[in-house]
Amino acid sequence: MRPITTLFMLMSVDGKISTGANDNLDVDKDFPKIDGVKEGLHQYYEIEQTTDLWSLGSGRTQAKIGVNDRAMPAKSPVSFVIIDNKHLTENGIKYFACLSDKFVLITTNKNHPAYSVEADNMSIIYQESLNLKVALAKLKSEYGCERLTIQTGGTLNGLLLRKKLIDYVDIVVAPILIGGKDTATLIDGASIHFESELIDLAPLELQECIPLNNSYLRLKYKVK
């Protein structure tokens, strides 16, 4: 009893979702500067506009792309769910309240800046410890979220996958190799150390492989 979820991300050929190992480096900032990559980047953002009307993100990712310093945006038809404890400022919260149809913050921080913001369309799901399964169930039962696009960072992506909370994977692959063992990947978090842990891996069933312009590729999978 939770929304149908799709992990939708832009990554390099080697699975990196960032251009480096610090928060000043990010594909949204850096790909537009790289010859051979910038020319086809618009396709990712065009596909993004066709995804679900509910979007799940992380406060860290949103802070990286600068929402804490942005002017207030126009209202969009998308409802945003943000998981955050410390990365979003009061301005970042107001930004999402202005942008969202419905805005839901999931936090374990009782002193989060969101508590000082008043917005009719904002709700806070407070948890003593993060329980994504319960949070997703609440999104469906209390907020009417039937389908949800996931666009969080590698660590949260990994946690969602290990908890079997991802139904589909929709990836746009940019024609670039980034490398670096400390650079964020599509699925981060704890590595497998024992053979017994292999049972928790999620095989994928390819549904579509779509070549895009400028050597980009779109891959769509169902999680078995």
Residue bearing tokens 């009719």: 120
Report the topology of domain 4-223: Dihydrofolate Reductase, subunit A (3.40.430)
Strands 217-223 and 204-211: antiparallel
Do 57 and 5 form a contact (C-beta atoms < 8 A)? no
CA distances (Å), 206 to each of 116, 203, 210, in order?
45, 10, 11
Please return the burial class of 39, using the count of CB atoms within 10 Å of its CB with bins 0-12, 13-18 and 19+.
middle
Other Cβ atoms closer than 10 A to 47: 17
Angle in degrees, CA 18, 47, 81, rounded to 5: 65
Do 163 and 137 form a contact (C-beta atoms < 8 A)? no
Q: Where are the domains of the chain?
A: 4-223
Nearest residue to 91 (alpha-carbon basis) of 116, 70, 118: 70
pLDDT tens per residue, the chain (224 residues)?
Answer: 999 999 999 999 999 999 999 988 999 999 999 999 999 999 999 999 999 999 999 999 999 989 999 999 999 999 999 999 999 999 999 999 999 999 999 999 999 999 999 999 999 999 999 999 999 999 999 999 999 999 999 999 999 999 999 999 999 999 999 999 999 999 998 888 899 888 888 899 999 999 999 999 999 999 99
Nearest residue to 96 (alpha-carbon basis) of 129, 134, 66, 127: 66
